[in-house]
Structure 1
Amino acid sequence: MANLPPLRLLLTFDAVCRLGSMQRAAQSLNVTPPAVTQAIRALEQEIGVCLLDRSAKPAVPTEAGERISRAVRNGFALIEDTIAETRHAAGVSDHQLTLCCTLGFATYWLMPRLSDFYARHPDITVNVQAPPSDQPVLSTGLDVAFRYGRGDWTDGRTWKLFDERACPVARPDVLAEARKAGELEEAVLIDVRLGSPHLWDSWSDYFAQRQIRRSGRPGHTFDNYVQAVQAALDGRGVMLGWQSITRKLVDDGALAAWPEGVHDFGTAYFVTCSHGALKKKAAKAFVDWVRQQPAH
């Protein structure tokens, strides 16, 4: 055991390999990118070999790095399974679960529905985490993850919940004024820029797929959908609203949708249950419940 590197370094290296970049690893671990870089270099010094090929962008594991990554992942999986089995044997885990999702999904989709789950399962406690990463991962200690994409995860069993679509939305008076003034591309736009631009479609993708030329008019940019929604409610412009987040606000009249503006990017929301959590009564009950929930 004395020859093992510090656990912190192994955790950081595992995050880089799982998530595919140091930037995403930093977001997942809630540290700065330089801290991740420093940890990887420290691990390489501890082991005495280069673990990442930095000539690639983003960096990829070397052959030695792949071996270390597999060993670390298998070791963590064994620890996680052993803890889950121990908790299960003690009857502790049957009545609680921990899930992760984005801040926007938690605020506008999950939390308004969660009281119904508690009414049906008063003996179960649900712990909700909204990590800084815009793509939640099933790290150690997490049972369930809500994720947006195309369902190609392998860290548990995944079920599709609903197709996700986007539509420009704004406060009714702002939207009416924008329509009176001209076309959508001329409006003041509220944009959200997250850590994975390849994952979350933006105004640029919306205009490109609908063959609309975007104007160069200045707008507002935020790094999460809760801030963007509040800006739209404050009348600061038109945001590209994902229906899981903005549909109820539109139905309630707080926001209005741009006519014929709904667009399908071919993506959906999914729920993934970790392999270890599949044995837990609480996780099974939660997944069964959430799969019965309406999309909007």
Structure 2
Amino acid sequence: MHRLPPLRLLSVFETVQLAGSAKAAAGELNVSMSAISQALKQLEDHVGVALIDRGTRPASLTEAGRILLMAVTENRERLTGALDDIHALDDPMGTTITLACTIGFATYWLMPRLEAFYLDHPDLAIHVQTTSREVPRLGPGTDIALRYGGGHWDDGDVTLLFRERVEPVCAPAYLSRIEAAAGSLAASFLIHVATDDRRWISWADYLARTDQRAAGSAKGLRFSNYVQATQSALSGHGVMLGWRSITGDQVSKGLLVPTGLPPLQPENAYHAVLSHRSRKTETAEVVVNWFRAAAEADMYAPSPSAPSRT
């Protein structure tokens, strides 16, 4: 029987992956970069294999690292769910709702809307569980999961929130590269996101479906999640495939702009799934209905104009 690594090392390992880099994790944990590096090395020594491929830029997880991260994430979610169930014993009115979603969705769609939710419902509270899973689980203690997919799940009542929209976007200052190339991607760096989820549209998918060409794709930037990719685009490092759920608010604020290239609408969409096991169905329905109304309001907001080619 293998001895488990210290929980401190596992926590550092997960924080690095969620934060997107060792530097960001050091800031979150308020420790030095050397402390982060030392903790990761101690964890690898304990496990006996490399967990991080340091030969890639940015560094990525090895297969062993992905297996361990999944185990750490699943067990944290189970523990969080158990604690939520315990706290629910002291919440007979059901005023706290636990919601699970991906890190990118929480960062770029959910969090910017929570302030408005609390203004409308000051008596309610939402506890957000973020997960690296593309389809967040409805584990014990979780009332709602916000998921991207076809909507065919049997573990809860499914409500459509909004359809996705995918189009190339970049920082306003970077747009000159596209304009100089007569509206093509030939001179651009493409920002890629590595994912095993086939529902997500990659640059290869987009280029094939829109009959576009991009000589810059081979020298593009590659990241392990959409949070990192979005930050890279905001910093003016290249063009990313902007998903409404992730870059929609940045586009509406003018921080990112559409390049004028054709948009795509995936078959899948974002849904709210209210758990069949929830003990707070009535309150959870209030939350779901508010999110659905907020998403509908976004649909009718004025869309930014495509860049001029003149």
Scaled by the length of structure 1, what TM-score is found?
A: 0.68
Deviation by residue 1:87-132 (Cα, 9 ceiling, x = unmatched): 8786536111111111111111111111122122222221111112
After the TM superposition, list the runs of 4 or more consecutive aligned residues in structure 1 that deviate by more than 6 angstroms: 22-25, 86-90
Alignment gaps of 5+ in structure 1 = 1-21, 36-75
Could you tell me whether the CA contact under 8 Å between 2:138 and 2:144 is conserved in 1?
A: yes
Alignment gaps of 5+ in structure 2 = 1-63, 299-310
Could you tell me whether the CA contact under 8 Å between 1:190 and 1:228 is conserved in 2?
A: yes
How far apart are 1:27 and its partner, in Å? Answer: 5.1
Could you tell me whether the CA contact under 8 Å between 2:188 and 2:214 is conserved in 1?
A: no
Amino acid at match of 1:139: G
Please give the alpha-carbon distance, in whole angstroms, between the structure 2 residues aligned to 1:163 and 1:204: 21
1:62 maps to none
Helix, strand or coil: the match of 2:138? coil
Amino acid at match of 2:234: L
2:142 maps to 142
1:121 maps to 121
How far apart are 1:186 and its partner, in Å? Answer: 4.2
Could you tell me whether the CA contact under 8 Å between 1:97 and 1:283 is conserved in 2?
A: yes
Please give the alpha-carbon distance, in whole angstroms, between the structure 1 residues aligned to 2:285 and 2:238: 42
1:13 maps to none
* Alpha-carbon distance change, 90 to 217 in structure 1, aligned in 2, over 3 angstroms: closer
Please give the alpha-carbon distance, in whole angstroms, between the structure 1 residues aligned to 2:118 and 2:191: 35
For the aligned residue pairs, the C-alpha RMSD in angstroms reads 3.1
Could you tell me whether the CA contact under 8 Å between 1:30 and 1:132 is conserved in 2?
A: no
Deviation by residue 1:58-95 (Cα, 9 ceiling, x = unmatched): xxxxxxxxxxxxxxxxxx9xxx9xx97x9878653611
How far apart are 1:278 and its partner, in Å? Answer: 6.5
1:275 and 2:247 are equivalent in the alignment: no
Q: Please show how residues 91-130 of structure 1 align to structure 2 within 5 Å.
A: 91-92=91-92, 94-130=94-130
Please give the alpha-carbon distance, in whole angstroms, between the structure 1 residues aligned to 2:88 and 2:249: 38
1:67 maps to none
Question: Of the two, which has the highest radius of gyration?
Answer: 1
Aligned residues with identical type, % of pairs: 38
1:168 and 2:168 are equivalent in the alignment: yes
* Alpha-carbon distance change, 25 to 146 in structure 1, aligned in 2, over 3 angstroms: farther
Scaled by the length of structure 2, what TM-score is found?
A: 0.65
Could you tell me whether the CA contact under 8 Å between 2:174 and 2:236 is conserved in 1?
A: yes
Q: Please show how residues 26-45 of structure 1 align to structure 2 within 5 Å.
A: 28-30=70-72
